[in-house]
Structure 1
Amino acid sequence: MEHGGHGMPGMPMDLPPFTLGQGLAFTGGDPFFLVGCVLALVLYGWGVLRLRRRGDRWSPGRTVAFTAGVLTVAVTMCTRLNDYGMVQFSVHMVQHMIISMLSPILLLLGAPVTLALRALPAAGGGRTGPRELLVKVLHSRYLRVVTHPAFTIPLFIASLYGLYFTPLFDTLMGSRAGHIAMMVHFLAVGLVFFWPIMGVDPGPHRPGYVMRMLELFAGMPFHAFFGIALMMASEPMVSTFKNPPASLGIDALGDQTAAGGIAWAFSEVPSVIVLVALLFQWYTSEQRQARRKDRAADRDGDAELVAYNAYLASLQARGGRG
């Protein structure tokens, strides 16, 4: 069957109309992502087991979050969603939104960097092992640059407008390697954008909670505007999806409008998840600080309060003499 776009060579063009059941059928997808997902789960599991064996605790919630993050990548890239995403704009947009906005948040909530720092053995003897290498990367100038809001926010925005509204998208969709590179890019951009905002793992930038919320909301409106631009367009804007296979039974412009609606609506999802996570972190941080102050007061007989009362008394005495 003819396909007017730049679909990937060897891609089946006789897909039936999209349904959730059809889309979620496991196909293995690109081996790159299948191997990557299995490897991520194995390494994370090894880290958790290593901590448990030496009697250290690791939050089950973090394990669940990381596993869910890996599974969202697997569902996006290792099911028939990946086939439909090559020829149907709305399905591709679901893939893009999940892998760039939902998967990174779940993976980061799993605190993989913290786990690696705690689980990897120290090389010792002044040698550089995997743990020392990770510490070096975390303190590198390169990481300070790529996780700075002045870099991450423009990159987050450019990944939408610079890709879909230029011929670059069609070029990447024309080959399997290009498609993999694009999806890896979406995941990587999501990770560097949300990493400083989530603040679960150690990193070069750790702004206060209010600043993190501002960073989050600085990027999200551009996702909404991008979705609206697609919805308002009077003709198909991406060559790859201009002539969808007849077997899908869809209209290119109608499907593009649906893709725009997905991009617009999905921008709210990460905002809510991250906001809830930040507020929870803020609350627990305040609780920890209050407990620390209480313990200090118990140890020193509340010396800070005694000193403050003495200071007030001295001010009052000085005022009385005046």
Structure 2
Amino acid sequence: MYALMMLVPPPGGPGGMTGVMWMPTLPVTVSRLFAVHPQPIPLLPLLGLGLLLGYGVGVVVLRRRGDAWPVTRTVCWIVGVLTLELMTATGFDGYGMELFSVHMVQHMTLSMVTPIFLALGAPVTLLLRGLSGGGRQRRRIRWGVLRVLHSRPAAFLANPIVTGLLFLFSLYGLYFTPAFTALMSTMWGHNLMLIHFLLIGMLYFWGVLGVDPSPRRAGSRMGAAAGPVARIAEMAIPVPFHAFFGVVLMMASTVVVSFYAAPMGFLGVTALGDQQTAGGIAWGFTELPTLLVLSVLFLQWQRSDARHTAAAERKALRDGDADLVAYNEQLQQLAARDARRGR
């Protein structure tokens, strides 16, 4: 199903052989997409296993200390790692080197699905809690993490405008420039690009979901921008640009990305037809992640309102609802004044 081949650049790309990689030799089927894809150096699959192991260690540290950790967060992290493994250790990675449509599924998943579940796992919160209450070395590491979170570079990167621009640059700045061909022509460049998708997605959804501590909560302006309503708007703004990118690929009469200009004959597709499929995937893929994020933000909004209501009720019990009594007295005074004037 796979053969070890030399990676050579497409016509018009940079010259010279650029490494080896296991490439598909049979047409695409569902079973082949989900089959294991052999790789000379499985960098991303190993990264996924490392993320799973590190998170597990953090949960064990808390449990041994007697601290609770939500099971839902652990499940979200596991789901995120599984989607990472699915896109990098199976046929999606192999066929993604030959078909633009398969690559687009890989891109959309790594930038819009995997980061959502990883962010919902609250890894920064787990790290900070795991480092608290330990020895001097742990306290130093925790202090270093907090210092990074409250630094100016972190605040700049976490700014909604910056994260939104970086998120969109992964589409327009990559596929409509020679950068994509240059990266895909080497095994290391290919892996670097996939890591880029994952990191940009994590940075974007880290701020939008607001589950973990972030620089947005360090100052008053950023803290205000982290409200549920503002984050819903932040999530909605890039959607039209995503859709437009997909429409451009679907409507183009020529091949936009030269790397996929000559797909292997055994795949049974044309470059233009495959590009149109990729555009349709980019256009329609945003629906599910957007719905998932909006659902999470809506639940956060409800819980926030419930907390405010509960706090107000506790305050009323403590002071005899002094605010309501004062408000009613004010209304009575106004009514009495109007009555005197009416005479």
TM-score by length of 2: 0.87
The corresponding residue for 2:164 is 153
Counterpart secondary structure, 2:20: coil
> CA–CA distance in 1 between the matches of 2:202 and 2:310?
33
**Structure 1 residue 198, shift from structure 2 partner:** 0.7
The corresponding residue for 1:15 is 25
Q: Deviations over 1:160-199 (max 9, x none)?
A: 0111011110000111111111111111111111121111
> CA–CA distance in 1 between the matches of 2:38 and 2:48?
11
The 3 A distance-change label for structure 1 pair 14 and 73 is closer
Equivalent residue in structure 1 for 2:175, among 164, 181, 197 = 164
The corresponding residue for 1:233 is 252
> CA–CA distance in 2 between the matches of 1:22 and 1:300?
68
> CA–CA distance in 2 between the matches of 1:70 and 1:185?
16
> CA–CA distance in 2 between the matches of 1:8 and 1:318?
88
For the 8 Å contact 2:131–2:138, the answer to whether it is kept is: no
The corresponding residue for 2:100 is 89
* Map 1:89-238 → 2, pairs under 5 A: 89-121=100-132, 129-205=140-216, 206=223, 207=225, 208-238=227-257
The corresponding residue for 2:89 is 78
For the 8 Å contact 2:131–2:139, the answer to whether it is kept is: no
For the 8 Å contact 2:172–2:245, the answer to whether it is kept is: yes
> CA–CA distance in 1 between the matches of 2:129 and 2:138?
18
The 3 A distance-change label for structure 1 pair 76 and 127 is closer
Q: Deviations over 1:121-169 (max 9, x none)?
A: 3567699622111111110111111111221112111210111011110
What is the aligned residue count?
322
> CA–CA distance in 2 between the matches of 1:125 and 1:84?
49
The corresponding residue for 2:310 is 291
TM-score by length of 1: 0.93
Counterpart secondary structure, 2:312: helix
The 3 A distance-change label for structure 1 pair 9 and 240 is farther
The 3 A distance-change label for structure 1 pair 87 and 23 is same
Instruction: List alignment gaps of at least 5 residues for structure 2.
Output: 217-222
For the 8 Å contact 1:123–1:132, the answer to whether it is kept is: no
The 3 A distance-change label for structure 1 pair 126 and 246 is closer
For the 8 Å contact 1:236–1:256, the answer to whether it is kept is: yes
* Residue type at the aligned position of 2:197: F
> CA–CA distance in 2 between the matches of 1:261 and 1:252?
14
Q: Percent identity?
A: 47
Equivalent residue in structure 1 for 2:271, among 252, 258, 263 = 252
Equivalent residue in structure 1 for 2:67, among 56, 64, 71 = 56
Equivalent residue in structure 1 for 2:35, among 11, 21, 25 = 25
> CA–CA distance in 2 between the matches of 1:58 and 1:182?
33
**Structure 1 residue 281, shift from structure 2 partner:** 0.5
> CA–CA distance in 2 between the matches of 1:178 and 1:286?
47
Instruction: List alignment gaps of at least 5 residues for structure 1.
Output: none
For the 8 Å contact 1:123–1:131, the answer to whether it is kept is: no
Q: Deviations over 1:17-37 (max 9, x none)?
A: 111210111235452212211
> CA–CA distance in 2 between the matches of 1:44 and 1:303?
47
For the 8 Å contact 1:24–1:80, the answer to whether it is kept is: yes
The corresponding residue for 2:220 is none
